[in-house]
Structure formats: C-alpha cells, structure tokens
C-alpha cells in the first residue's frame, strides 16, 4: 500500500498507509491526521484540504485539473507547491509522497 507522510506546521510527522484509489485528503481522514478540514468532502468546493507538496514530488504528480486550479486560489497562504489534497489521487506511483500541512486552513 502506498505510503504518505504528512508533516504538520510544527514539524510533527504522520506516516500513513493509503488505500489505492483514494485521494490524499481521504488518506488523512482515514488516519485522523489533523490539519485538513475538507468541508466539502472532496469536491473541489471548499479549499480546506490545502497542502504543500514536497518540492521533490511537485513535478511527479499529475498537474491539477481546472476545478482544482481555480479553487486553490481560495486557500489560505497559497504557494507554488500548493495543491488541494482531495484532487490528488493516491497510486502506486505516489508511494513515499511527502506533503506539508499549512498552519491553518482558513487563516482564522
């Protein structure tokens, strides 16, 4: 099963095993990783599943589709490596993926 490491803003690491055919957001939910809210449940409507993909990985993931690209603007503290984790699919190719969690999903 593909592994994903989530790193909280304070440096706390969560290494989890993701199910094939789920999103990175869902992998965080299944494993109670804090820092992702996912208000809309995975439909690119809320931008509260924002993560920063490790620079090593940024180019290896499929590029965002339009729905993600426009909604990412709604996230808090957007950077070049920002992604909406509900739109990033777990596959065998993503084994070892590292993502950083923002300090806040909403800025509040």
Interface residues toward ligand FES, by CB under 6 A: 25, 38-40, 42, 44-49, 71, 84, 86
CA 33 to CA 23: how far, in whole Å?
14
Cα separation, 12 vs 90, whole angstroms: 22
Which residue among 9, 17, 39, 95 contacts other proteins (CB under 8 A)? 39
Q: Which residues is 6 bridged to in the sheet? A: 14, 99
Question: What residues between 46 and 85 interact with other proteins by CB under 8 A?
Answer: 46-47, 67, 70-71, 73-74
Nearest-approach distance from CB 76 to other proteins, in angstroms: 9
Q: Are 8 and 72 in contact (CB under 8 A)?
A: no
Return d(Cα 76, Cα 73) in angstroms, integer.
8
Site for other proteins in 7-36 (CB under 8 A): 19, 29-32, 34
Bridge partner residues of 53 (DSSP): 99
Q: Which DSSP state fits 18?
A: P
Our CB check for ligand FES shows the closer of 11 and 19 to be: 19
Instruction: Name the minimum Å distance from CB 34 to other proteins.
Output: 5
* Residues that bind other proteins in the complex, under the rule CB under 8 A: 19, 29-32, 34, 37, 39-41, 43, 45-47, 67, 70-71, 73-74, 106, 108
């Amino acid at each position: 099963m593909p592994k994903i490491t989530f790193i909280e803003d304070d440096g706390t690491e969560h290494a989890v095993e993701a199910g094939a055919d789920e999103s990175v957001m869902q992998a965080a939910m299944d494993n109670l990783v804090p820092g992702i809210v996912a208000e809309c449940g995975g439909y690119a409507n809320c931008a509260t599943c924002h993560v920063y993909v490790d620079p090593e990985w940024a180019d290896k993931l499929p590029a965002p589709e339009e729905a993600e690209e426009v909604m990412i603007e709604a996230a808090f503290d957007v950077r070049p490596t920002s992604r909406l984790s509900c739109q990033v699919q777990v596959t065998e190719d993503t084994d070892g993926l590292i993502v950083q969690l923002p300090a806040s999903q909403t800025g509040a």
